[in-house]
A and B are shown apart, each in its own frame.
Chain A
Amino acid sequence: MDDLALFSIASDRNRWLATRSAALADNIANADTPGFKARDVPSFEAAMNSASAAMLRTNPNHLAPTQFGARSFDLVQRPGEVPKHSGNTVSLETELANLGEVRSQHSMVSGVIGAFHRMLLSSVRG
């Protein structure tokens, strides 16, 4: 099954989308908090490129990497937002637009996983 990198890429993508929606939820919740700076995850491409340098376990006492090689994505401050009078940089409009983007991307990835899963099953059933 390792030949099909698709499933691992798709689940990485879904995990990235989940992290992004957590970041957006955080921004929306803090839309009225003075001094709060809007945060976001770096683009999926950048996150995948930087994630390849995972540390190797050469000693059993080393901390184990998270299960299934699950990557976590770091949040960064979103650049280019204009602060309001209170020092807050959240714009609800931007957040809701990003939210819609996340929604459609997530259902596309889930749809792709479902479609490939059906293809695999049909090849098993013959």
Chain B
Amino acid sequence: MTDELKAAIISSSSGLRAQSTRIRVVSENLANASATALVPGGDPYARKTISFAQELDRASGLNLVRINAIGRDPTPYPAQHMPGHPAADSNGYVKLSNVNPLVELSDMREAHRSYEANLQMVRQAREMIGDLIDLLKGK
């Protein structure tokens, strides 16, 4: 059995890693929100999705988080009539990316909130370890 406070830090850091990957996916989506296809009538950037799963860490007996899969959002692409666009198909329609900036921003806020909670946990576990070490100091 490892030290419980250390185990707390290990599982929080797995949470931090998962949430920062989520932030990375959100930023990729936002950066490519207006990316269209390179060829006429082609598919534009598809929104990326991320899902988490729990993973049992045998050393500590804790459920760590891992990235389950980074997938693609199957939502149909909205089309807009822009005949002059290089990616327009024969009818003059351009497929736009299915990224919705509002959804991405709310996802970012949620990831930030979870990240902060994990960070607070790390901070507190460190303080508790510090309290125990302080017992050794003769005051």
Using a CB–CB distance below 8 Å, which chain A residues touch chain B? 14-15, 17-19, 21-22, 24-26, 28-34, 36, 66, 72, 92, 95-96, 99, 102-103, 106-107, 110, 113-114, 117-118, 121
Kindly report which residue of chain A lies nearest to residue B113, judged by CB atoms: A92
In the bound assembly, the distance between CA atoms of A78 and B132 in angstroms comes to 28
Interchain pairs with CB closer than 8 A, number = 109
Residues of chain B from 1 to 16 with CB closer than 8 A to chain A in the complex = 1, 3-5, 7-9, 11-12, 14-15
Q: Is the interface of A mostly helix, strand, loop or mixed?
A: helix
Kindly report which residue of chain A lies nearest to residue B131, judged by CB atoms: A110
Q: Is the interface of B mostly helix, strand, loop or mixed?
A: helix
Kindly report which residue of chain A lies nearest to residue B125, judged by CB atoms: A21
- In the complex, what residues of B have CB within 8 A of residue A18's CB? 3-5, 8, 128
- In the complex, what residues of A have CB within 8 A of residue B135's CB? 110, 113-114, 117
In the bound assembly, the distance between CA atoms of A66 and B7 in angstroms comes to 18
B19 to chain A, nearest CB (A): 8
In the bound assembly, the distance between CA atoms of A30 and B56 in angstroms comes to 12
Partner pick for A28 among B5, B117, B132, CB 8 A cutoff? B117
If A25-B12, A114-B139 touch, does A31 touch B128 (CB 8 Å cutoff)? no
Partner pick for B5 among A22, A36, A99, CB 8 A cutoff? A22
B120 to chain A, nearest CB (A): 7
Are the CB atoms of B114 and A118 closer together than 8 Å? no
A125 to chain B, nearest CB (A): 11
Are the CB atoms of B53 and A28 closer together than 8 Å? no
If A29-B18, A30-B65, A31-B117 touch, does A21 touch B139 (CB 8 Å cutoff)? no
Are the CB atoms of B131 and A106 closer together than 8 Å? yes
Are the CB atoms of A96 and B128 closer together than 8 Å? no
Kindly report which residue of chain A lies nearest to residue B4, judged by CB atoms: A18
If A36-B54, A103-B124 touch, does A29 touch B15 (CB 8 Å cutoff)? yes
B52 to chain A, nearest CB (A): 4
- In the complex, what residues of A have CB within 8 A of residue B63's CB? 26, 29-30, 36
Partner pick for B121 among A33, A99, A110, CB 8 A cutoff? A99
Are the CB atoms of A34 and B139 closer together than 8 Å? no
In the bound assembly, the distance between CA atoms of A96 and B90 in angstroms comes to 56
Kindly report which residue of chain A lies nearest to residue B122, judged by CB atoms: A25
If A29-B18, A31-B117 touch, does A22 touch B11 (CB 8 Å cutoff)? yes
- In the complex, what residues of A have CB within 8 A of residue B4's CB? 15, 18-19, 21-22
